[in-house]
Amino acid sequence: MPSLRPIPDASPIAKWLIAAAACVGLLVPAAGQRAASLSKTAPPVPTLASIGQALLIQDYTVEQFRRFRDELGNVVTVRERLEVDANGTARPDFEITFLGVVGEPAGSALSVEWQQSYLRFGNLFFRHGSFQVRDLAKASVNYTLHDYGQVVRAGRMARRMVVFPASVDKAIWVVDIDSVTSVPLFIAEFDNSLQLRANIEALTFTPSVQAITPTQAAANVTPMTNYAGAEAFLGLPTGLVDPIVLVTPDYALERIEVHDDPINGRQKLVMSYSDGIDQYMVVQTMNSFDPFVGLPSAVGGTHTIGRFRDPALSALVFWDDQVTFHVAGRGSLRRLDEVASRIYLQALSN
Amino acid sequence: MSSGNPRKASSPAGRKPAVPALCRAALREVMSDSGKLSTGEQGASEHIEACGFCSARVQARSTLSNWASARPAVPAVLASPSVLEGIYERAAEAVEQGPISTWLEQSVVSTAEVAASSDADPSFLQDCLHESASGSELLRDFVRSPAQPDPQVWNGVCRSILEGVASERVMRRQTAWRVLLFGAAAAAVVGLLSIAEDVPVQPTITFADLDHAPDVAFANVRYGSRY
């Protein structure tokens, strides 16, 4: 067995020289890389402003995977094609086409189901299911953007960014932003326990678009400028309220629409609130029946709010004076309980 | 310490020592009012001889009995008139400092001057008799009607009393009005409450957890197909 001979101590001068040489050895290649990168004119780091601007001006066509997680936690990956024709507004024309369910043969029951879903809700998938900077001023206040370096996505250079909320009850976003167009090529939504809740992954990207047939909402949608206009449009029905949502001061009214449901013919007043990136909705459906009548909780003069909550969705429903109210948002936004309570009290006091 | 000493055995702290019944009975038996010791019963004699307390008492009695039986004579000097007069003068001087002399000085009835006593002046005695008569009149007046105070002072007192009474009357009147008004207000409030419509009470809101997400657009966004 070879004996372990002690290594003779080097002199202090020798140690210093070795350390200096090691530092030089590490720094020179790094400096060389930096010089090389600078020489390639690296694209600027995306900002919330550039991401929001892309929505207004950038035409593009992308094939992508959109992954859904159902109430049971099962993940379904759907392949789709999205064509966006920017029109200078925050609501560009677009066409979303169902291509198939990954792992499912064409024509299978599941594929047919999802095809029907895309026909009915495709409009919602793009408008409300993607990462968008809806209000730059509010997004700048309520979120911070962190750069995590360059990546390659869909064969293109992109920048990995993390969008961190200022409030703990909102989603954390990891987005790969196309370095040229600032269009998100990869979107991952995490809840506050760092569980993945939604995902969109671009497979191919083309910064242009052919003539499209814009995908319309299943319902006949009429945009409104304000609540008074919507109320007048609906004929001043009783039971309708202008929601007071002071509980969520970081959210502002983004959009008001009147939907005519083609299935049952009921009209709905849909009001969307946004903090710049996140959203929740207050929907008032007229001429509806009380879903809680006859339930034990409805006895004794108490008023019931039905609540469904899981990590992905918070949905609250209540009824008063022929109007069914829905308040819905992401699962972590528990303040929606208070929003629903206050709107209910508002409706009861009218 | 004698074992038969009853004092230490039974005396409570700070009080006159209690005489045990046995000693009391023995002493009563032996001693008599004449001061002479009687023979008494044999048991009593034996007790006294044995008890230090009782033997001391018996010994003291034999010494003090002579002195207690003889009444001492009054000293002759106390019987002299000058000593008595001195006592009376000291008593009068003590009264002069009191409220009676003040009243006498302030009274309307003039008091006669009392001259120095003189045995050689018989008219003094008549004057004294005369004075004593006026003194009795003075007493009668004192009893019948007290001395009247100064009118100005008395008016001031009357005025202040009347003002006090008047202010109390006003306060009582005001308090009565206040009570009346308060009662009327309370009655009005009760009456209004009884006839007023029901004040709406804050509704009670309860949350009922649902098994499935309701049919809302946001649920479709999150879950996609919900068939």
pLDDT tens profile A258-303: 988 777 778 899 999 999 999 999 999 998 888 777 666 555 667 8
Residue B126 predicted with pLDDT over 60: no
Distance from CA of B225 to the nearest CA of A (A): 5
Contacts B219 to A, Cβ<8 Å: 313, 315, 328
pLDDT at A203: 97
Contact call for A129 and B221, based on CB within 8 A: yes
Residue A240's pLDDT band (boundaries 50, 70, 90)? very high
Q: What is the pLDDT of residue A92?
A: 92
Q: Does B150 touch chain A (CB under 8 A)?
A: no
pLDDT beyond 50 at B1: no
pLDDT band at A73, cuts 50/70/90? confident
From B217, which residue of chain A is nearest by alpha-carbon distance? A124
pLDDT at A9 over 90: no
Confidence bin at A53 (pLDDT 50/70/90): very high
Taking residues B101-111, report their average pLDDT: 67
Residues in chain A: 350
Instruction: Tell me the C-alpha distance between B127 and B111, whole Å.
Output: 12
Based on the domain organization, do B98 and B127 belong to the same domain?
yes
Kindly report the backbone phi and psi dihedral angles of residue A185, in degrees, each rounded to the nearest multiple of 5, phi listed first. Answer: -100, -20
pLDDT at A125: 93
A243: exposed, middle or buried (C-beta count within 10 Å: 0-12, 13-18, 19+)? buried
Q: Are residues B52 and B98 in the same domain?
A: no
How crowded is residue B142: how many other Cβ atoms within 10 Å of its Cβ?
14
**Which comes out higher in pLDDT, residue A196 or B77?**
A196
- Answer with the residue of higher pLDDT: A250 or A215: A250
Is B225 in CB contact (< 8 Å) with chain A? Answer: yes
The reply to whether residue A281 touches residue B216, judged by beta carbons under 8 angstroms, is yes
Query: How do residues B128-174 score in pLDDT, each as one tens digit?
Result: 555 555 555 655 655 555 566 678 888 888 888 888 887 777 677 77
HSE value, Cβ hemisphere, 13 Å, CA-based, for B90: 6
Q: Is there a contact between B178 and B170 (Cβ–Cβ < 8 Å)?
A: no
Range(s) of the domain holding residue B18: 6-69
Half-sphere exposure (CA, 13 Å, Cβ side) for A233? 18
Q: For A220-349, CATH number?
A: 3.30.200.100
Establish, for the pair of chains A and B, how many residue pairs have beta carbons separated by less than 8 Å: 121
Domain A48-206, CATH: 2.50.20.10
Hey, are the CB atoms on B214 and A281 less than 8 Å from each other? no
Q: Please, are residues B220 and A124 in contact by the beta-carbon 8 Å criterion? A: yes
Maximum C-alpha span of chain A = 99
Average the pLDDT over A109-121 and give the result. Answer: 91
Q: Confirm or reject contact between B210 and chain A (CB < 8 A).
A: yes
CATH 3.30.200.100 range(s) for chain A read 220-349
pLDDT band at A25 (very low <50, low <70, confident <90, very high): very low
Residue among B211, B208, B209, B220 at smallest CA distance from A312: B220
> Mean pLDDT across the stretch A67-90?
90
Residues 90-119 of B with CB under 8 A from A: none
Which strand (E) or helix (H) includes residue B158?
helix B151-195
Boundary-marking domain end, from B23, B48, B69: B69
Pairing of strands A143-153, A252-260: unpaired
Question: Looking at residue A83, what is its pLDDT?
Answer: 95
- In this prediction, residue A51 has a pLDDT band, given cuts at 50, 70 and 90, of very high
User: Is residue B187 situated within a structural domain?
Assistant: yes
Q: Give the integer Cα–Cα distance in Å for A286 and A284.
A: 6
ipTM of the complex: 0.79
* pLDDT (0 to 100) of residue B17: 61
Give the mean pLDDT of A85-96.
92
What is the rounded average pLDDT for all residues in chain A?
A: 86
Strands A313-320 and A323-330: antiparallel
Tokens of B89: 């003068």
Determine, yes or no, domain membership for B220.
no
Count of domains forming chain B: 3
Position B224 in a domain: no
pLDDT at A196 over 70: yes
Residues in chain B within 8 Å Cβ distance of A113: 225, 227
Four-residue CA torsion sign, A166, A167, A168, A172: negative
Q: Does B198 touch chain A (CB under 8 A)?
A: no
Section A1-27 average pLDDT:
46
Helix axis angle, B99-106 to B81-96, nearest 10°: 70
The residue whose two tokens read 């900002």 is A47
Question: Which chain B residue has its CA at the smallest distance from A281's CA?
Answer: B218
Given B41, B69, B97, the domain boundary residue is: B69
Kind plus residue range of the DSSP H or E element containing B205? strand B205-209
- Residue A301, sorted as left (phi over 0), alpha (psi -120 to 50) or beta, turns out to be left
List CB contacts of A240: < 8 A, sequence separation 6 or more.
A231, A234, A269, A284, A286, A323
Q: Which of A152, A148, A145, A143 is nearest to A185 (CA)?
A: A152
Pairing of strands B205-209, A303-309: parallel
Answer whether B214 touches A (CB < 8 Å). yes
pLDDT at A301: 65
- For residue B76, the 8-state DSSP code is G
Query: Do B39 and B90 sit in the same domain of this protein?
Result: no
Q: How confident is the model at residue B130, as a pLDDT?
A: 56
Give B212 or A255, the one with higher predicted confidence: A255
Write a three-state SS string for chain A: CCCCCCCCCCCHHHHHHHHHHHHHHHHHHHHHHHHHHHHCCCCCCCCHHHHHHHHHHCCEEEEEEEEEECCCCCEEEEEEEEEEECCCCCCCEEEEEEEEECCCCCCCHHHHHHHHHHHHHHHHHHHHCCCCCCCHHHHHHHEEEEEEEEEEECCEEEEEEEEEECCCCCCEEEEEEECCCCCEEEEEEECCCCCEEEEEEEEEEECCCCCCCCCCCCCEEEEECCHHHHHHHCCCCCCCCCCCCCCCCCCEEEEEEEEECCCCCCEEEEEEEECCCCEEEEEEEECCCCCCCCCHHHHHHCEEEEEEECCCEEEEEEEECCEEEEEEEECCCCCHHHHHHHHHHHHHHC
Question: For residue range A200-233, what is the model confidence (pLDDT) as tens digits?
Answer: 999 999 999 988 888 877 678 899 999 999 999 9
Average pLDDT over residues A118-123: 89
Averaged pLDDT for residues B85-93: 87
A117: distance to nearest CA of chain B, Å? 5
Whole-number Å distance between alpha carbons of A278 and A330: 8
What number is the average pLDDT over the span B191-204?
Answer: 69
Which residues lie across from A6 on neighbouring strands? none
Selecting from B200, B204, B220 the residue whose C-beta is nearest the C-beta of A124 gives: B220
Q: Do B217 and A69 touch (CB under 8 A)?
A: no
pLDDT, position B66: 79
What's the average model confidence in pLDDT over B195-210? 76
Task: Say if residue B42 is in the same domain as residue B18.
Answer: yes
Residue A4 has pLDDT above 50, yes or no: no
Instruction: With CB atoms and an 8 Å threshold, state whether A308 touches B206.
Output: no
State residue A319's pLDDT score. Answer: 92
Please name the helix (run of DSSP H) or strand (run of DSSP E) that holds residue B207, with its range, or none: strand B205-209
Own/partner pairs, A10-14, CB within 8 angstroms, 24+ separation? none
**Rounded average pLDDT over A8-29:** 49
Q: Which residue has the tokens 């969307």?
A: A272
Which residues lie below 8 Å from residue A60, measured CB to CB, with a gap of 6+? Answer: A83, A84, A181, A183, A205, A206, A207, A208, A209
For residue A310, the chain B residues in CB contact (below 8 A) are 213
Which pLDDT does position A29 carry in this prediction?
Answer: 40
Task: Name the more confident of A284 and B113.
Answer: A284
Read off the tokens for A346: 């508002």
B44 and B84 together in one domain = no
Q: Cβ–Cβ of B224/A114 closer than 8 Å?
A: yes
Q: Looking at the structure, do residues B90 and B55 belong to the same domain, yes or no?
A: no
**Which part of chain A is CATH 2.50.20.10?**
48-206
C-alpha to C-alpha distance for A90 and A84, rounded to whole angstroms: 12
Tens of pLDDT, residues A140-172? 999 999 999 999 999 999 999 999 999 999 999
Please list every residue in chain A whose beta carbon sits closer than 8 Å to the beta carbon of residue B198: none
% chain A with pLDDT above 70: 85
B119 DSSP assignment: T
- The number of angstroms, rounded, from the C-alpha of A58 to the middle of its chain's C-alpha atoms is 19
Q: For residues A211 and A192, what is the distance between their CA atoms, to the nearest angstrom?
A: 40
Using an 8 Å Cβ cutoff, are A250 and A339 in contact? no
Q: Are residues B109 and B165 in the same domain?
A: no
B129 and B96, same domain (yes or no): yes
